[in-house]
Structure 1
């Protein structure tokens, strides 16, 4: 075992786990006051469902030996239940169980991202079913394509994008962000627009969104840096490029807002940070620090314009998952073809470094493949669930508020009243009546009734 690398991946895993509450706060602050708890539950619910799928057969489907060497799906029977990962392997550099939980969080975050596109109008139970089916039929095959590399001795065959095609995706631009972004668009088209769209409730808590964005930024260092799977130069370079891209994207987004709307908003600044993090995810091990600044700046500008297109194109993406994750993921993956620096950990040369168009062409094939597969299968999944279980909330629930009607609670005391439990009210009522009866028996004045 490499003790230093094990310690680093342990820390990175804990960082990625913080992305779950970070995403919940980031999304939750942007919705109306009557929907924040539903967003939190959809985020955490997606993670909980993914854990079952991943443990039962998901890890096997991603990292098991590819069926027939085709690079399409791993052997789902290779690690059923993950029981064969808990014994110490003297030949492993990292504990297999650690790699399993690190990658489980990637799967969980990917499906949780999608919920931001459909808040305020999807049934909670149907959402959990969607998560289980989507992870199984969409995420697992694509993750195998992208993350499963052939073993050095050739005994284990991985996915076709990582090996036959040779596309660069250091931490999941295709498998995570393009995948979740295009899946969000597919389920949006099945669900339809929210009631009253494009007019919607104002964000209930922008500081929550800023806090969530900051937590996501922290976790992203583990997400990208941990993907090096070792403590060393590669992880260090990735942290630097990740930091640069996030900062540059924030400035790019704010510049667009200032020019177009005459304001540089907090919501825009935090959204810019996330756009930069999305775009640098596939490229963080392939570009120089200056290349990361360029990618981040372009992502901030392009994504800021992209979220405005939903009003012209007429699709209701509640929290701009398509405009940030899909557009940012595609942009970052393709820009590797221009900015890839041979001195970076991936060792590839892009167009600006004398590498020609070959890297760009390879990246484009990977992008198109993920877009086509994820959109088609997600649309079918959403349509089947809609026709059977029902995917859309009723008009009454959408109107009255999801938190109270679906979860039986509310995030804020909006009416300013103290709501005592029913048992306490009954006890108080009995005490008042007994006091009044005692006063009447002694011809005294009766106390005022509460």
Structure 2
């Protein structure tokens, strides 16, 4: 089995099953600046002072800094795109700090230096152009997309060898871990949907070593090794009373190791499943009104790590993006278990069913205590829920993709039907 799932042609086939593979060339004039084949997952690559990120299903190319254009930097008015095909592309600034450095560009309508390009049919290219105060233009570069074949030919495998070998190394580590009697959990859901409470509930089991947002990007098997996993403890785990020694001892003998993160769909789940295809995925979702109210309340606190303008409007956008991608995650995952925020935290039977899904006894003292603590916390939150203003609720319900929610809810309902009458009551 190890040889099969770790072979480079097999990995390429797994990648193609998740999405098309593109080759990207970046040129300036006749000079080739950069060439790289990669799949349409979230992949980051530095090119001088430019940071390119491509994300499926719509390619997002974002710049963290403008390239050096000699003395002309002080004269830039805006950065635009000129396309050879019918792309819809816009550019703005990537951050407020960049706006301070290039004040003339800070007046961009979008407020971010970002170019959104719908996926081309087989390929295409577009130019990035700097427009100057004096009316002139300077070509920053040309970005060209071309589609690689779906078959794992020898030439394609060789071209992608560094990426494929990285995935193979993670899979070999995963198989060694499983052979040692341990398995992997990836838990999460949309932000403000109870993902932290979920992580703490799972962590209550003496058989699970669960991180809380230990890693923001894609997971790799080696990240769960103790020397990396315990480099920094999350504040939530510290507040919960776990010492470093206790967590390290638990990690060493745990039956499951894993991590939770919000916005799982938007944060590289495809790459995570390519690296660790054996992941048991636990996904929690929440109705949009509750998510939006929680976003708005968090934004008003003006806390570090949460922007003051990340309120109910941002909530709808994030919620839509997240839920639209859940069916693809469900189809790709080897095992997935759905939880609904409004149901689980007030229901002991549903929390017990979660541990039973993992093959654990919910009657264990530690699990029972964790369930009881979750029930108590849930009762406190329900006693003083966050509320949207009428006009805020109207905006949220107008812009929410309720069809995407219904699709996820249908997956959840089908799961509960399979579990039998006890899970539905």
TM-score range, shorter chain: under 0.3
Q: Which has the higher helix share?
A: 1
| Structure that is richer in strand per residue | 2
Higher relative contact order (CA 8 A, sep 6+): 1
Q: Which of 1 and 2 has greater Rg?
A: 1
